[in-house]
């Protein structure tokens, strides 16, 4: 009889108890996988070009800046490209159908993001030419079944037209894709001029500016120059990296990383106590059997490996299906959340982290019982009831 068979037999000798422990571990890792996937989705866009900076209102990035700032920033030494963007707050047909929609200046926007998104030359020309033209990401177009040339009405929950309508009509003149898999394409951009001419309030204002410097080494100097230029003005600015800006945007929805750690940590700590206590009970019940094994020549090290193997196998049997349940859950809900959480999936990194946690859980819960079993003397163990 080999050690693996002994481990399996010992683990499943009390099937109900083992089943309950497996269910508990499965639940904990399903929670971990789902929450970690949400955190990953929130942070998906933060590993961006290191030479990109964002200029926004110092009070809060939801406050506007004058469009006159655009030309002044563009003239600063070290600024290679700059684009301005305006959050639109869009939805399609129903307010529940949230969309990421931004008003941009076409030429500068395509320059700044040219190395991230693929746009056909015909689409570029049409976007520059068509006043009501819009570029739509492949993910968004696929979700709503939009095609090139479609006319789509997009409403805003922030802005109103001069005629009182909240809906703007757009023509899809291009569908772009990402040059890399991690580039999100679940958004739409349209012409700022069309937006500015038709909106009821905020004319001549922009949301923020996104610029590229000559190199990452210039970031600090360029950022300080911009903020000093507009210091003590009615619209003071703050300049930061695109990564930091995106983190600040995500922070509106709460500290997702902290929530994941607290909820996941609480679940794993609870399971740790339950499984550890159960393993101790299991070893106490088998004291005489351990004595028999030692009398038959099993070494203390081998006994240690058997008990540790049992706890690790238990963690894997519960944890791996738990990650599978998380993946299925994410797959089921991602369609309804794609506008809010664009890259929602259980990534390989999350799966590897989960596997590492299973091994740690197995070692921690099995270590004390395993050491106790290893130290048992055969005569003392055989003499216990």
* 244 is a domain residue: no
* 325 is a domain residue: yes
In this structure, the answer to whether residues 211 and 294 fall within a common structural domain is no
Please enumerate in sequence order all residues whose Cβ is within 8 A of that of 328, keeping only pairs 6 or more positions apart, or say none: none
* 51 is a domain residue: no
In this structure, the answer to whether residues 93 and 217 fall within a common structural domain is yes
* 54 is a domain residue: no
In this structure, the answer to whether residues 263 and 333 fall within a common structural domain is yes
* 372 is a domain residue: yes
* 249 is a domain residue: no
User: pLDDT of 222-269, one tens digit each?
Assistant: 999 999 999 999 999 999 887 777 666 655 555 566 676 777 777 777
- Give me the number of domains the chain comprises: 2
In this structure, the answer to whether residues 228 and 281 fall within a common structural domain is no
Largest interatomic CA distance in the chain: 94
pTM of the predicted model over 0.85: no
- Outline where 240-347 has alpha helix (H): 242-250, 256-285, 287-295, 300-337
Q: What are phi and psi of 12, to 5 degrees?
A: -105, 20
In this structure, the answer to whether residues 231 and 97 fall within a common structural domain is yes
In this structure, the answer to whether residues 152 and 286 fall within a common structural domain is no
Determine the pLDDT at residue 46: 47
> How many CB atoms are closer than 10 A to CB 174?
21
In this structure, the answer to whether residues 96 and 203 fall within a common structural domain is yes
Domain that holds residue 357: 3-44+255-382
In this structure, the answer to whether residues 309 and 371 fall within a common structural domain is yes
In this structure, the answer to whether residues 220 and 185 fall within a common structural domain is yes
In this structure, the answer to whether residues 291 and 377 fall within a common structural domain is yes
CB 92 within 8 A of CB 101: no
CB 42 within 8 A of CB 256: yes
In this structure, the answer to whether residues 74 and 38 fall within a common structural domain is no
User: pLDDT of 28-67, one tens digit each?
Assistant: 888 888 888 877 776 655 445 677 899 999 988 789 999 9
Determine the pLDDT at residue 19: 86
* 53 is a domain residue: no
- 365 closest CA partner among 315, 317, 318: 315
User: pLDDT of 355-368, one tens digit each?
Assistant: 998 898 888 888 87
**What is the spatial distance between Cα 145 and Cα 139, in angstroms, rounded to a whole number?**
10
* 213 is a domain residue: yes
In this structure, the answer to whether residues 79 and 156 fall within a common structural domain is yes
**What is the spatial distance between Cα 36 and Cα 326, in angstroms, rounded to a whole number?**
10
Assess whether pLDDT exceeds 80 at residue 285: no
């Amino acid at each position: 009889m080999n050690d693996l068979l002994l481990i399996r037999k010992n683990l499943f000798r009390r099937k109900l108890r083992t089943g309950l422990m497996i269910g508990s571990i499965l639940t904990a890792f399903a929670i971990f996988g789902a929450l970690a996937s949400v955190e990953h989705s929130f942070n998906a866009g933060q590993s961006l070009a290191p030479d990109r900076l964002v200029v926004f209102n110092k009070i809060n990035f939801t406050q506007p800046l004058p469009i006159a700032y655009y030309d002044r920033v563009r003239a600063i030494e070290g600024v290679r490209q700059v684009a301005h963007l305006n959050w639109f707050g869009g939805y399609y047909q129903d307010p529940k159908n949230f969309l990421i929609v931004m008003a941009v200046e076409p030429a500068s926007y395509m320059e700044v993001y040219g190395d991230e998104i693929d746009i056909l030359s015909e689409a570029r020309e049409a976007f520059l030419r068509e006043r009501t033209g819009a570029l739509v990401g492949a993910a968004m177009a696929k979700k709503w079944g939009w095609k090139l040339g479609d006319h789509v009405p997009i409403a805003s929950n922030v802005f109103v037209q001069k005629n009182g309508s909240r809906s703007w009509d757009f023509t899809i003149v291009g569908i772009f894709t990402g040059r890399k898999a991690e580039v999100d394409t679940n958004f739409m951009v349209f012409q700022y001029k069309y937006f500015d001419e038709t909106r009821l309030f905020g004319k001549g204002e922009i949301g923020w500016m996104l610029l590229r410097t000559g190199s990452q080494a210039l970031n600090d100097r360029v950022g300080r120059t911009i903020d000093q230029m507009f210091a003590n003005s009615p619209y003071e600015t703050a300049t930061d990296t695109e990564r930091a800006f995106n983190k600040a945007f995500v922070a509106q929805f709460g500290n997702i990383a902290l929530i994941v750690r607290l909820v996941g940590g609480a679940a794993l700590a609870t399971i740790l106590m339950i499984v550890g206590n159960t393993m101790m009970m299991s070893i106490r019940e088998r004291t005489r059997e351990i004595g028999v094994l030692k009398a038959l020549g099993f070494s203390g090290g081998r006994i240690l490996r058997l008990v540790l193997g049992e706890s690790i196998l238990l963690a894997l049997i519960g944890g791996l299906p738990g990650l599978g349940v998380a993946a299925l859950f994410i797959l089921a809900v991602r369609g309804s959340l794609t506008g809010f959480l664009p890259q929602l999936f259980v990534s390989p990194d999350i799966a590897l982290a989960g596997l590492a946690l299973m091994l740690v859980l197995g070692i921690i819960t099995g270590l004390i019982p395993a050491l106790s079993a290893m130290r048992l003397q055969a005569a003392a163990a055989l003499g216990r009831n």
